[in-house]
Amino acid sequence: MKFFNREKEINEILHILSKESDDIYFIYGPLNSGKTALINHIINNELKKFNKKYAVFYVNFREYDIFSMDNFVEALFEIDENSEEKTMKSYIESFTKSVNDIINLYYGIKVPEPILNKLFGEKEKGRLVFKFIRDLFISLNKKGVQPVFILDELQMIKDIVMNGEKPLLKSLFQFLVSLTKERHIAYCLCLSSDSLFIEYVYNIGELEGRAKYLLVDDFDKETTLKFIDFLTKEKLNKTLSDGDRELIYSYVGGKPKDIKYVVEESKFKDLREILEHMLRDEIQKLKYFLEDVKEEDEEFYKKIVDVLRIFKENYEVEDTIINKKIREFLIKRNILFLNPQKGTLKPQSYLVWNAIKRVIK
């Protein structure tokens, strides 16, 4: 599928990658709002417009079961099967010489197996890992190549952080600060749908004045209707009526993934039947969620219902009108989404919002 819209976000990220590196950037938004699609589009289609060389190191933590420091280190690296270098210095030199294209995309930090084994064998893994990455980025930078370090699905490292590895989190982000604000040798982009965890990272990592936020939200109504037209023309070779477009928006809002699913399914199924099926599924998930809460703690359940009742008439509210414990619980369970920049809460999707309006009496 051709990439649609996001000019504002594309231009903002391109601006970040065209100037001197100076901050860590958290790219965040609700579930399935298109953060990964956006960053991949920029890597594969937009960066080539600049008269600069980039070496993009993309790490997707969702691809790994990260429950220890070893898993974290493993997620950062990919074995370079084409290299037989045995020392870090010689490998960095040879790797840097091989980078000649305008855009060089690597999934993980490339490293020969002997060096990776050495990194794993080091007692202070973090120290040696960060030193290796730093020296590699410095070498590329000296050659005129701009390293771009992308950490996608950042929330997937939450378990090891919450299980006693807070020093890892602080070390990681202080290291990223050294790459950006201090040495200006690499761009660092961190993607996540878990804005609560991003706030936690911001505080534990001591990132005040060293990090900025970029929201990739669901589409607004005007953009949603254009996106529906775009998809129906591409997928179905037709245009939907105004009534059908409005119907889709009333059920799924501006969630790109949901809209795409509806349009593709409508080739074979009745539109309202598709939408009702999606909503029934969301309703059942909400009912089972509430049932579990009630079984665990009936008083807490009543408080949860009182909070959700607020959203029967409101799609977005100020975060502080809701008790901190309750709002964080609902955010963690992906019922609500926090925008830390605006200080607002809203349902994770229109489907969730519609389910709340159907379930909460």
Write the pLDDT tens digit of every residue in 298-311.
Answer: 999 999 999 999 99
Length of the chain: 361
The stretch 131-152 carries a mean pLDDT of 96
Q: Look at residue 321 in the predicted model and tell me its pLDDT.
A: 96
pLDDT digits (tens, 9 = 90+) for 300-347: 999 999 999 999 999 999 999 999 999 999 999 999 999 999 999 999
**How far, in Å, CA of 75 to CA of 66, rounded?**
8
pLDDT for 84 beyond 90 = no
Q: Which of 81, 69, 70, 42 shows the shortest CA–CA distance to 58?
A: 42
Q: Which residue has the tokens 């589409």?
A: 219
Q: Look at residue 125 in the predicted model and tell me its pLDDT.
A: 55
- Per the CB < 8 A criterion, the answer to whether 281 and 265 are in contact is no
**How far, in Å, CA of 120 to CA of 123, rounded?**
8
Q: In which element (H, E) is residue 116 found?
A: helix 113-121
Q: Look at residue 50 in the predicted model and tell me its pLDDT.
A: 86
pLDDT for 229 beyond 70 = yes
pLDDT for 170 beyond 60 = yes
Domains 7-215 and 282-361 share a fold: no
- Return the percentage of the chain with pLDDT > 70, whole number: 96
* Domain boundaries defined on the chain: 7-215, 219-268, 282-361
Question: Is the domain defined by 282-361 classed in CATH 3.40.50.720?
Answer: no
- Return the percentage of the chain with pLDDT > 90, whole number: 78
Q: Look at residue 159 in the predicted model and tell me its pLDDT.
A: 75
Question: Is the domain defined by 7-215 classed in CATH 3.40.50.300?
Answer: yes
Confidence grade of residue 121 (pLDDT, cut at 50, 70, 90):
low
Q: Please tell me the chain's helix, strand, coil percentages from 3-state DSSP, rounded to the nearest 5.
A: 60, 15, 25
Mean pLDDT of the chain: 92
Q: Look at residue 163 in the predicted model and tell me its pLDDT.
A: 62
- Per the CB < 8 A criterion, the answer to whether 58 and 152 are in contact is yes
Q: Which residue has the tokens 């990592």?
A: 205
Q: Look at residue 96 in the predicted model and tell me its pLDDT.
A: 95
Q: Look at residue 48 in the predicted model and tell me its pLDDT.
A: 87
pLDDT digits (tens, 9 = 90+) for 86-113: 899 999 999 999 998 999 999 999 999 8
pLDDT digits (tens, 9 = 90+) for 57-77: 999 999 888 777 778 888 899
pLDDT for 265 beyond 60 = yes
Confidence grade of residue 294 (pLDDT, cut at 50, 70, 90):
very high
Phi then psi for residue 86, to 5 deg, are -115, -10
CA contacts within 13 A on the Cβ side of 91: 22
**How far, in Å, CA of 136 to CA of 177, rounded?**
16
The stretch 217-236 carries a mean pLDDT of 94
pLDDT for 206 beyond 90 = no
pLDDT for 186 beyond 90 = yes
Q: Look at residue 284 in the predicted model and tell me its pLDDT.
A: 98
Written as six digits, the tokens of 246 are 């409005």
Torsion of CA 193, 199, 203, 206, to 10 degrees: 50
pLDDT digits (tens, 9 = 90+) for 2-53: 678 899 999 999 999 999 999 999 999 999 999 999 999 999 999 988 888 9
